[in-house]
A and B are shown apart, each in its own frame.
Chain A
Amino acid sequence: MMLRVDLHPTHVSEDGKYHLRVGKPLPFGASIVPGGVNFSIYSRYATSCKLVLFNKHEQKPFCVIPFKDEFRIGNVFTMVVFDLDYENLEYGFYMDGPFDPRQGHRFDKTKVLMDPYAKAIGGRDVWGKTPDWNDIYQHRARICFDDFDWESDHPLETPIEDLVIYEMHVRGFTRHPSSGVKHPGTFAGIKEKIPYLKELGVSCVELMPIHEFDEFENSRVSPTTGKMLMNYWGYSNVGFFAPKAGFAATGKFGMQVDECKTLIKELHKNGIEVILDVVFNHTAEGNEKGPYISYRGIDNKTYYLLTPDGYYFNFSGCGNTLNCNNPLVRNMILDCLRYWAADYHVDGFRFDLASILGRDQNGAPMHSPPLLETLAFDPILGKCKLIAEAWDAGGLYQVGSFPAWGRWAEWNGKYRDDLRKFLKGEPGSLGGMAQRLQGSPDLYSWEGRGATASINFITAHDGFTLYDMVSYNGKHNEANGENNSDGSNDNYSWNCGWEGESTDPAVNKLRMKQMKNAVAMLLVSQGTPMILAGDEMANTQWGNNNAYCQDNEISWIDWSQLDKNRELFNFFKKMIAFRKAHPVLRSSGHFKNRDYMGSGFADITWHGQKAWNVDWSAESRMLAFLLCGMHAKGGTVDDNSIYVAMNMHWEMHGFELPKLNHHMQWYVFANTDAQPPFDIWEPGKEVRIENQNEFLVGPRSVVILVGKESK
């Protein structure tokens, strides 16, 4: 070991037991250094600070060490404590300072406060295990090893247009007994399901929040089901740097960091990227009635957006709003994302209610928000995907106008709505649908953006599952205990003739077809498709479109559905494979609407019952388009041509097919009106159609043809 002068302590704690010296202010948090642990925490308004040390799980601290005056540098308290058994250690802080809510200060020197930079957090080690509410320190900062052996692993850097994203909840994915994994509901459980993900063909998993949160936040009993309602989704951070211990089978041993990293390493080995859903818009401390966990007691005025009277702004709908454009909070967010990118090899981030990240310290939307700009240009995040949920609960809706610097993509809420309207046959939905199929040029064709700015989705955790979207006209959230008043009312769903579960074969057949129609349209759209986990097996939440509090069969994926819905799984799998096989479906830029390759066809052309003619009137429900293979990826690669006919009318219609060049013929890849196995083919094994002039497209059906040389 290198000899260093600072291996030697300079001070002794008051009880004489611990040797100390001044620490380094950076990095913030607790870091293992030779001989000890370096603690560093900042507070602009605190007058003094004490380090509180606990043995793991013990309610009484074994030591409290004040930061001496000489251990404060600027507004940072920092010291090294030597000879700690850091594997068995939990630490927190007492902060003293003014209690003056009108001025924004809420210091309380009796509260043990968690380190905002804690890399591991105890207290909820095993999911759902009732905490000891008498414990004065509920969420307990721990020291973690940062020496994980990644070997040659590296973020995959797949071009975003080549991704097929699969959104999942870590627990919900395998918690149901039917999942058959050894450790249900955990990171390890997902690892066991990697072969399944590979078979399906997805190339990216987007994990709903995995930062430490408190599943017992606002826990209560459902008045209708009698079941415990919890904060199951976890859009409410306790800590930003720590993975949720209760999502790790090894959380009870404090090894959640290694288990989470091992999952990411294994996913990468299998060509699957990892995007984290991150929640920087608020914390679990709620409003002025909420608990002291960390931020409120450390520097309330720094961390939160406050009204002139010192109350909490509530742009998140969750009680408080993180003060994202305060320079210190901005730095914390940057430190956090850099940490997940560098230490966890995460491939990208999806920002929950990201519009809040563009509000100034008074809550007003900014023109060029420094935080968003910083993230767009940061070198460590340079290859990370940055995806915004471009709205917030304070009424800001920025789909198409989120500040992007050519770097930010968006959850395209308009894609979801327009596709759903078209799918259910709503009049006047053709124009919107045409934009969505092209990667929404109406929204993203300026400021250096392109089709890659659009994350296309029909379903996500928020809202109906795909099966429920074709089985329910309205939401059924009674089990959430709010008289069905929570959750969105704008679902654009259609139950196919019966509300909820049906024994009518005609209803069920139509539902199956509508699900196939939806996924077919999603996967032939330009932009990046996202699928909600479980949709490929027709997972249901029985009409609940806001299952945030349901840690039970409502939200857990029922894997027994897979056997019952092999037909749908097979359709998903082949559609994903088809997208992968055809670069013409994966442009990064938008179409130019002209023939710049001399093929005789523009890159995209529109058709209807008559080739080259679309009836764009409000009552028209038929649309077809042809993608010219020679124009694939801006003409840089050669592909087959692809023709997609969508008939969302309730009657069958003939579609005149555009004539291909000499030697080329139409082959059918998918026809959602046909029964399996004739509904979809292996990509490359499509079947030549007899009638090359017209295709009869069934009622509410999608047909996909491939134009290639006749054999």
Chain B
Amino acid sequence: MDIQTSKQDGVTVVALSGNLDGNTVNEAQEKIMPLLSADTKSLVLDLKGCGYVSSAGLRLLLMAAKQLNSQGGILVLSGVCDEIKDVMEMTGFSNFFKSFPDISAAVAAVRKGGA
């Protein structure tokens, strides 16, 4: 799994490539959770390069979103492929996320105050 962190218009963007599952979730967690310091108000997780997110992976996303929410921030997703979207819909995870077609749309929405 490849995890790239960048800033766009002042918003932190984490791009995940590869499968987010039991094998990679710990590594992803180690990279993502430190980005959620108390002063972080927003994060974009880009899943464009991600073909599969397992149950453990979805839980990591939800934990990160809840962490940000608890400090008044927001986590949004971008570039989620149809199959993952579908799985998230069926398993209830989609209720907790706003999702955008690409990074710039997600960043724009976050800058406007979470869309």
Identify the A interface with B (CB < 8 A).
85-88, 145, 147-149, 182-183, 186-188, 191, 248-250, 253-255, 258-259, 261-262, 265
Instruction: Please name all residues of chain A whose beta carbon is closer than 8 Å to the beta carbon of B96 when the two chains form the complex.
Output: 149
Q: List 17 A-B contacts (CB under 8 A).
A: A85-B22, A85-B23, A86-B22, A145-B56, A149-B92, A183-B90, A188-B90, A191-B90, A250-B87, A250-B91, A253-B87, A254-B55, A255-B90, A258-B92, A259-B90, A259-B91, A265-B92
* Interface Cβ pair total, 8 Å cutoff: 55
Given A87-B54, A88-B23, A253-B54, is A145 in contact with B90 using a C-beta cutoff of 8 Å? no
Given A149-B62, A149-B96, is A87 in contact with B56 using a C-beta cutoff of 8 Å? yes
Instruction: Please name all residues of chain A whose beta carbon is closer than 8 Å to the beta carbon of B102 when the two chains form the complex.
Output: none
Question: In this assembly, does B111 line the interface, its C-beta being within 8 Å of a C-beta of chain A?
Answer: no
CA distance A318 to B32 in the complex (A): 53
Contact with A along B2-46 (1 / 0, CB 8 A): 000000000000000000011101000000000000000000000
Closest residue on chain B to residue A262 by CB atoms = B92
Contact residue among A147, A186, A249, A253 (Cβ-Cβ distance under 8 Å from B59): A147
Contact with A along B74-90 (1 / 0, CB 8 A): 00000000000011011
15 further A-B pairs in the complex, CB-CB below 8 A; given A254-B55, A255-B55, A262-B90: A85-B22, A86-B22, A88-B23, A145-B55, A182-B86, A188-B89, A188-B90, A191-B90, A248-B90, A250-B91, A254-B54, A255-B87, A255-B90, A259-B91, A262-B91
Instruction: Please name all residues of chain A whose beta carbon is closer than 8 Å to the beta carbon of B21 when the two chains form the complex.
Output: 87-88
CA distance A186 to B91 in the complex (A): 12
Contact residue among B23, B25, B52, B91 (Cβ-Cβ distance under 8 Å from A258): B91
Closest residue on chain A to residue B26 by CB atoms = A85
Instruction: Please name all residues of chain A whose beta carbon is closer than 8 Å to the beta carbon of B54 when the two chains form the complex.
Output: 87, 253-254
How many chain B residues touch the partner (CB < 8 A)?
19
CB distance from A187 to the nearest CB of B (A): 8
* B92:A253 contact, CB within 8 angstroms: no
* B90:A249 contact, CB within 8 angstroms: yes
Closest residue on chain A to residue B93 by CB atoms = A258
Instruction: Please name all residues of chain B whose beta carbon is closer than 8 Å to the beta carbon of A253 when the two chains form the complex.
Output: 52, 54-55, 87
Instruction: Please name all residues of chain A whose beta carbon is closer than 8 Å to the beta carbon of B62 when the two chains form the complex.
Output: 149
CB distance from A141 to the nearest CB of B (A): 16
* A250:B90 contact, CB within 8 angstroms: yes
Closest residue on chain A to residue B92 by CB atoms = A262
* A88:B92 contact, CB within 8 angstroms: no
CA distance A145 to B92 in the complex (A): 14
Instruction: Please name all residues of chain B whose beta carbon is closer than 8 Å to the beta carbon of A147 when the two chains form the complex.
Output: 59
CA distance A626 to B9 in the complex (A): 73
CA distance A248 to B96 in the complex (A): 21
Closest residue on chain A to residue B53 by CB atoms = A253
Closest residue on chain A to residue B55 by CB atoms = A255
CA distance A255 to B25 in the complex (A): 16
CA distance A250 to B86 in the complex (A): 9
Instruction: Please name all residues of chain B whose beta carbon is closer than 8 Å to the beta carbon of A249 when the two chains form the complex.
Output: 90
Instruction: Please name all residues of chain B whose beta carbon is closer than 8 Å to the beta carbon of A259 when the two chains form the complex.
Output: 90-91
Instruction: Please name all residues of chain A whose beta carbon is closer than 8 Å to the beta carbon of B92 when the two chains form the complex.
Output: 148-149, 258, 261-262, 265
Instruction: Please name all residues of chain A whose beta carbon is closer than 8 Å to the beta carbon of B23 when the two chains form the complex.
Output: 85, 88
Closest residue on chain A to residue B86 by CB atoms = A182
The 6 nearest A-B residue pairs measured at CB? A87-B22, A262-B92, A258-B91, A188-B90, A87-B56, A85-B22
CB distance from B35 to the nearest CB of A (A): 19
Closest residue on chain B to residue A254 by CB atoms = B55
Instruction: Please name all residues of chain B whose beta carbon is closer than 8 Å to the beta carbon of A258 when the two chains form the complex.
Output: 55, 58, 90-93
Given A87-B54, A88-B22, is A145 in contact with B91 using a C-beta cutoff of 8 Å? no
Closest residue on chain A to residue B59 by CB atoms = A145
CA distance A682 to B96 in the complex (A): 39
